[in-house]
Amino acid sequence: MNPAPTRADDEKNIGGVHIKYLYHCARQLWLYGKGYRPEHRSDLVSFGEIVDETSFTRRRDIDLGEAKVDWVTTGAVVHETKSSRTPNPDHAAQVRHYCLLLERRGITVQGGTVHYPLIRRTTPVDWNAEARAQAETDEHRARSVLAAPHAPPRLPRSHCRGCSYLDYCWGE
Ligand code: SF4
């Protein structure tokens, strides 16, 4: 089964989901880029959306087109909420990407915070020259994956737990 392309990969803007998938699995990113969207069947994704929607009542999403930032506070601190109980490098990478997108719109970004309401923790995300370089590298890597003519290989099965693309990759 080959998902139909939606539009040329080089026209795509890179959003937070692209960065998340880049860190998890290049194949997942590639499939997402081709328009394959099984997320609505994933209980984990639904759970994350519920946590996201109920954890904070005073918040305002910021729609950047290619990315939706949870909210930005005074001094341009980017906030991202995660349903995970375990801080993960891809969470900080997403926040760095949002910082990059905001900065490109002329905003002087101070940094970011990842919120983990289920474990009542926050993790700060620095925004400096090193973080900017990392964000630009991630964006470039994501574009390279999206432009690949064929799907990248599967991860080892043990890494696929909870992935919404299990059906496609493993026929489950
Ligand atoms: S099922 Fe595994 S190989 Fe397939 S996209 Fe998900 S993580 Fe990657």
Could you tell me the residue ranges of all domains in the chain?
9-166
For atom 7 of ligand 1, the residue with the nearest CA is 160
Binding site membership of 141 for ligand 1 (Cβ less than 6 Å): no
CA distance 162 to 24: 11
For atom 3 of ligand 1, the residue with the nearest CA is 154
Predicted structure pTM score: 0.80
| Centroid of ligand 1 to alpha carbon of 16 (angstroms) | 18
Binding site membership of 166 for ligand 1 (Cβ less than 6 Å): yes
Binding site membership of 28 for ligand 1 (Cβ less than 6 Å): yes
pLDDT of residue 37: 82
For atom 2 of ligand 1, the residue with the nearest CA is 160
Helical pair 89-104 and 129-147, crossing angle rounded to 10 deg: 100
Give DSSP secondary structure letters for 85-115: SS--HHHHHHHHHHHHHHHHTT----EEEEE
Q: Which of these CATH numbers, 1.10.760.10, 3.90.320.10, 2.30.110.10, 3.40.640.10, describes 9-166?
A: 3.90.320.10
pLDDT of residue 7: 42
| Site to substitute for ligand 1 among 154, 159, 168, most atoms within 8 A of C-beta | 154
Binding site membership of 94 for ligand 1 (Cβ less than 6 Å): no
Contacts 24+ apart (CB under 8 A), 90-94: 90/19, 90/20, 90/22, 90/23, 90/24, 91/123, 92/123, 92/125, 93/19, 93/20, 93/22, 93/23, 93/134, 93/135, 93/138, 94/16, 94/19, 94/20
- Report residue 71 as tokens: 């909210």
pLDDT of residue 97: 95
Contacts 24+ apart (CB under 8 A), 124-131: 125/78, 125/92, 125/95, 125/96, 125/99, 127/96, 127/99, 131/96, 131/99
pLDDT in tens, 70-114: 777 767 788 988 988 999 999 999 999 999 998 998 888 999 999
pLDDT of residue 4: 43
Atom of ligand 1 nearest to the CA of 153: 3
User: How does pLDDT run along the chain (172 residues), one tens digit per residue?
Assistant: 444 444 444 446 899 999 999 999 999 999 999 988 875 555 555 444 544 544 444 456 677 777 777 777 767 788 988 988 999 999 999 999 999 998 998 888 999 999 999 999 999 999 999 999 999 999 999 999 999 999 999 999 999 998 989 988 998 5
pLDDT of residue 39: 59
For the CA atoms of 128, 130, 135, 136, the dihedral, rounded to the nearest 10 degrees, stands at 110
CA separation (Å) from 98 to 33, 37, 53, 79, 169?
Answer: 19, 22, 19, 9, 29
CA distance 156 to 171: 15
Binding site membership of 155 for ligand 1 (Cβ less than 6 Å): yes
